[in-house]
């Protein structure tokens, strides 16, 4: 009689929050590419954040790496009140090893004009684009969760206008640089004939037709 396999729990290491997670599967290899969603609000002392991770199985060991973090809407709504202005943005940028999407979120101490909001938005985008290029995606996850990224950004923007809140409400890895390079190699590049070659081909066709007409 064939032995019936049973599902069991496998330990998944999550280095970014220094925790363990249990994955349920028949074999550890089945956990590869599994998506995990964690509420890490307690870790961040009340800041409501969901962390999305992707599992990689190597050498019979499962490790979950961050893929996306989201600052939950009700945390943001709690910060909003009258007499202030808020600035949002969303753009694609690059780290040392990935193409990423990032959404900064700013709240001023008092209501400000549209011109000031625009300056704050552009200044934040320029600073973030330059800063992200100097770090890996995992470094950025660590710095956002610890607040290390928001602090220098807030100090930079303070020169424009003092902020009450300077946060990153979403950060996501879209593609790893290695994946982008691999895709680029597999794309077929269609080379169009040069204009000169097209002219020569047309001339040959014309001569053939003329010769055929004379023979007839």
**Average pLDDT of each block of 10 consecutive residues along the chain (216 residues)?**
77 94 93 94 88 95 96 84 92 97 96 96 97 96 95 95 95 87 63 54 63 53
Which backbone phi and psi does 59 adopt, to 5 degrees? 55, 40
What is each CA distance from 43 to 49, 51, 55, 146, in whole angstroms?
9, 11, 21, 10
The pTM is what?
A: 0.80
pLDDT computed for residue 202 by the predictor: 63
According to the model, what pLDDT value does residue 187 have? 58
Q: pLDDT value at position 191?
A: 45
Measured between alpha carbons, how far is 75 from 14 in angstroms, rounded to an integer?
24
pLDDT of residue 179: 73
In terms of DSSP bridges, do strands 86-88 and 91-94 run parallel, antiparallel, or are they unpaired? unpaired
**Residue 63 near residue 85 (C-beta atoms within 8 A):** no
Q: How far apart are the first and last CA of the chain?
A: 84
Cα 43 versus chain centre, distance? 22
In whole angstroms, give the CA distance from residue 93 to residue 99: 6
Q: Are 90 and 58 in contact (CB under 8 A)?
A: no
Burial of 95 (0-12, 13-18, 19+ CB in 10 A): buried
């Amino acid at each position: 009689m064939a032995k019936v396999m049973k599902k069991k729990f496998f330990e998944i290491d999550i280095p970014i929050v220094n925790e363990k997670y249990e994955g349920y599967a028949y074999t550890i290899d089945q956990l590869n590419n599994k998506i995990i969603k964690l509420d890490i609000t307690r870790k961040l002392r009340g800041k409501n954040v969901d962390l999305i991770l992707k599992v990689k199985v190597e050498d019979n060991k499962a490790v979950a790496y961050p893929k996306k973090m989201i600052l939950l809407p009700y945390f943001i709504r709690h910060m909003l009140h009258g007499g202030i202005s808020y600035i949002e943005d969303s753009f694609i940028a690059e780290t040392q090893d990935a193409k990423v999407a990032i959404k900064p979120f700013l709240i001023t101490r008092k209501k400000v004009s549209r011109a000031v909001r625009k300056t704050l938005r552009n200044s934040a985008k320029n600073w973030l684009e330059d800063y992200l290029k100097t770090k890996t995606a995992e470094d950025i996850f660590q710095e956002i969760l610890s607040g290390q990224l928001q602090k220098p950004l807030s100090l930079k923007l303070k020169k424009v206008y003092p902020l009450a809140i300077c946060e990153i409400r979403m950060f996501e890895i879209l593609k790893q640089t290695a994946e982008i390079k691999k895709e680029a190699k597999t794309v077929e590049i269609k080379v169009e004939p040069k204009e000169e070659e097209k002219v020569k081909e047309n001339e040959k066709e014309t001569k053939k037709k003329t010769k055929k007409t004379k023979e007839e």
